[in-house]
Amino acid sequence: SNKNVQAKLVLLGDVGTGKTSLVLRFVKGQFSDFQESTIGAAFFTQVLSLNEATVKFDIWDTAGQERYHSLAPMYYRGAAAAIVVYDITNSVTSSRSFYPILSLTCLCSYDQASISFVSMHSCSVSDCPYDQMMVLFQESFERAKKWVQELQRRGNPNLIMFLVANKVDLEEKRAVGNEEGEVYAKENGLTFMETSAKTAQNVSELFYEIAKRLAKA
Ligand code: GTP
């Protein structure tokens, strides 16, 4: 008869990388261009039926804002699998050039919990009051590496870890090459996938791969 697996899955990654969007694409088949920033964490469940097993996911979607970092261990403790997400359009090296392009919809207010993605303010490079936050916002690939290190040190030793490069629909704004993610993942024993929560590219494949690994474990 069919095996039943229940597994805790946690998503970690910088603010705005698309963690909630990936989960909502998987759980509800939906996507919003105006997804609000997560406060604390959000919980979802979803069941995937494979030939060899039925996998019930208990999904913890954590908040990427730095102020919530200290809560993260509560969510990755006891997790069987983790998805560490970064955004291919932002990296340290792209932070400066990225800025002027988006100057009309400055992303720097995004880290203010009370201000949602739709109400971003306008500013120019020189007078931006949130310049420091803006730079932080650009560092999602570096932030992903920090999460991987933290999970390697403090997570479950048998943790199944996936590194996910999201927003591949924004190819023209790509700042982190496919090979960069792939090489880093290989060096660190992670499974690497590029996804788009917007177009659904590779999203069900991602959760299927995790379910298959969990069914084998
Ligand atoms: P926090 O909760 O603040 O940590 O953010 P998050 O990682 O959960 O990101 P969220 O899902 O809230 O997405 C942030 C923004 O990116 C939203 O405006 C989404 O619509 C957008 N977004 C998410 N995934 C994609 C994607 O694959 N492609 C594009 N173009 N936009 C995306």
Reduced 3-state DSSP string for 57-92: EEEEEECCCHHHHHHHHHHHCCCCEEEEEEECCCCC
* Residue 180 near residue 145 (C-beta atoms within 8 A): no
Strand 191-194: give its sheet, edge to edge: 41-49, 53-62, 3-13, 81-87, 160-166, 191-194
> 19 in ligand 1 pocket by Cβ < 6 Å?
yes
Q: Quick: pLDDT tens for 130-166.
A: 444 444 444 789 889 999 999 999 999 999 999 999 9
Radius of gyration, CA atoms only, the chain: 17
Of 10, 19, 35, the residue with max ligand 1 atoms within 8 A of its CB, to mutate for a pocket test, comes to 35
Write down the pTM of the prediction: 0.82
Pocket flag, ligand 1, residue 89 (CB < 6 Å): no
Look at residue 1 in the predicted model and tell me its pLDDT. 56
- Please answer whether residues 210 and 162 qualify as being in contact, where contact means their C-beta atoms are separated by less than 8 angstroms: yes
Is residue 113 within 6 Å of ligand 1 at its C-beta? no
Q: Is the ipTM of this complex over 0.85?
A: yes
pLDDT at 34 over 80: yes
pLDDT for the residue 118: 26
The response to whether residue 143 sits with its C-beta less than 6 Å from ligand 1 reads no
Q: Is 200 in the pocket of ligand 1 (CB under 6 A)?
A: no
Confidence of residue 88 (pLDDT cuts 50, 70, 90): very high
Neighbours of 147 (CB within 10 A): 27
- pLDDT tops 50 at residue 8: yes
Helical spans, DSSP H, in 69-202: 72-76, 95-101, 131-137, 140-154, 178-187
Mean pLDDT in residue range 95-102: 34
> What does the pLDDT look like over 155-203, one tens digit per residue?
999 999 999 999 999 998 888 889 999 999 999 999 999 999 999 999 9
